[in-house]
Amino acid sequence: MSTKKKTAWNAGLIAALLILLFLLEQVMPSSSMLFTVLKKGAIYALVAVSMNLLNGFTGLFSLGQAGFMLLGAYTYAILTIPVEARNSVYQYFDGGIIQFALPVPVALIAGGIVAAIFAYLIGLPVLRLKSDYLAIATLGFAEIIRAVFQWDKLGPITNGSNLLRNFPSFRSVLFPFIVAGICIALIVMLINSTYGRAFKAIRDDEIAAEAMGINLAHHKRLAFVISSFFAGISGGLLAMYQTTIQASMFKSAMTYEILLIVVIGGIGSVTGSCISSFLFIACSEWWLRFLDNENLYIGGFHVPLLRPGFRKVVFAIVIMMVVLFYRQGIMGTKEFSIEGIANFFKRKPVGKKKKGGASHE
């Protein structure tokens, strides 16, 4: 299939998906679980792809994603709370010191930029570390950021450990899809560029890559900063989705969840991360919900063990099964694409490596 045809197919698919979402929203009640899953899934897809850029494509094992999401979420919330609502939000800090509100898109990008600046500063010392040491140092930085944001001396800006609320949020499911879609498309373009190839070379063999003239420090820093930028934007989206935020939300458990999504989708597959984030959110929030119901009867049989919390146990077991028996994840390192499907139906041997397939969202 020619490149032009492929692009047309992909554009058509994305348009069809957006129209489908728009129609769904007109037809179904907005309280439906489907929309919760779609909104949260799109946000997690973005952060999972940003983590995949680091872990899967550059081979940097970083566990700081929750910290960068926190930075994005806080920047977004602080910059967009309407001036008239500030007195009630910052009730313990005399209305805070920031007395202006920015429009939503500007604040989202600002969130990304703040996360990127922090990533640059953190990256200066930390990126010299290797594998597990890097992981534990970035995890440590996420914890430090969380503690700093809860510090009451910074209260006039961050509201201490109190909730931030009253900032604008989105109602339509299209908003997170479009924002996340654009960001993921940008990441895919980056991966397919010269920089992306350099990242992959670093992942496969650092020494060989250096010998080929790739500036290791520069490229690692670039990947780290870009990944954090998008994590920051997804943090802003998460703030919009949740309508209130608090620093204590962004624990290391959140990073582990994102890492599980990346691994289940397949390390090194953008579309895999997207698919698995929707599946992950749908399973944990929606499909297994019946397991929390204590009075479930099948025929006349009262199903034992069911009570609130059982859903999460079953979910954790499912995840363990996937990790143990399905090591490559859903997509492995392949990408989901029209071409792949077309080849599958034609029963033709698939070309050496399925390529293309920008964000399938």
Partner 1 sequence: MDWMSRNLPYLMAGISVGGQYALIAIGYTMVYGILRLINFAHGDIFMVAGLIMVYSTTVMPIYIAIPLMILVTVLLGFLVERVAYKPLRTAPRMSIMISAIGVSYLLQNLALYVTGGLSQQYPAIPWINDTVTLFGATTKRVTIITPILTIILVLLLVTLIKKTKIGMAMRAASRDFETSQLMGIKINSVISFTFIIGTFLAAIGSLLFFTNYTGVTPTAGAMPGLKAFVAAVFGGIGSIPGAVIGAFIIGICENIIKGLGWTTFSDAFTFALLIVILIAKPTGLFGEKVTDKV
CA pair distance 31, 49, nearest whole angstrom: 28
Closer residue to partner 1 in complex, CB, 79/291 = 291
- CB neighbours of residue 351 within 10 Å: 11
Q: Smallest distance, Å, CB 137 to partner 1?
A: 5
Amino acid letter, 47: V
Task: Return the residues of window 189-218 that contact partner 1 according to CB under 8 A.
Answer: 207
Task: Return the residues of window 316-335 that contact partner 1 according to CB under 8 A.
Answer: 316-317, 319-320, 323-324, 327
The residue written with tokens 């802003």 in the block is 236
Contacts of residue 246, defined as CB under 8 A and 6 or more positions apart, other chains included, come to 161, 162, 163, 164
Q: Which of 23, 312, 350, 351 binds partner 1 (CB under 8 A)?
A: 312
Burial of 143 (0-12, 13-18, 19+ CB in 10 A): middle
**Structure tokens that stand for 277 in this block:** 């984030």
Closer residue to partner 1 in complex, CB, 76/280 = 280
Cβ–Cβ under 8 Å, residues 357 and 340: yes
Q: Which of 49, 51, 116, 139 binds partner 1 (CB under 8 A)?
A: 139
Task: Return the residues of window 65-124 that contact partner 1 according to CB under 8 A.
Answer: none
- 141 binding partner 1? (CB under 8 A): yes
Q: Which of 152, 215, 248, 294 binds partner 1 (CB under 8 A)?
A: 152
- 136 binding partner 1? (CB under 8 A): yes
Q: Number of residues in contact with partner 1, rule: CB under 8 A?
A: 45
Q: Smallest distance, Å, CB 182 to partner 1?
A: 29
H or E, element range at 302: strand 301-302
Task: Return the residues of window 43-62 that contact partner 1 according to CB under 8 A.
Answer: 61
- 293 binding partner 1? (CB under 8 A): no
Closer residue to partner 1 in complex, CB, 16/316 = 316
H or E, element range at 298: strand 297-298
CA pair distance 122, 225, nearest whole angstrom: 10
H or E, element range at 11: helix 3-27
DSSP conformation class of 284: I
Closer residue to partner 1 in complex, CB, 297/325 = 325
Site residues, partner 1 (CB under 8 A)? 61, 125-126, 128-130, 132-133, 135-137, 139-141, 143-144, 146-148, 150-152, 207, 251-253, 256, 259-260, 263, 267, 307-310, 312-313, 315-317, 319-320, 323-324, 327
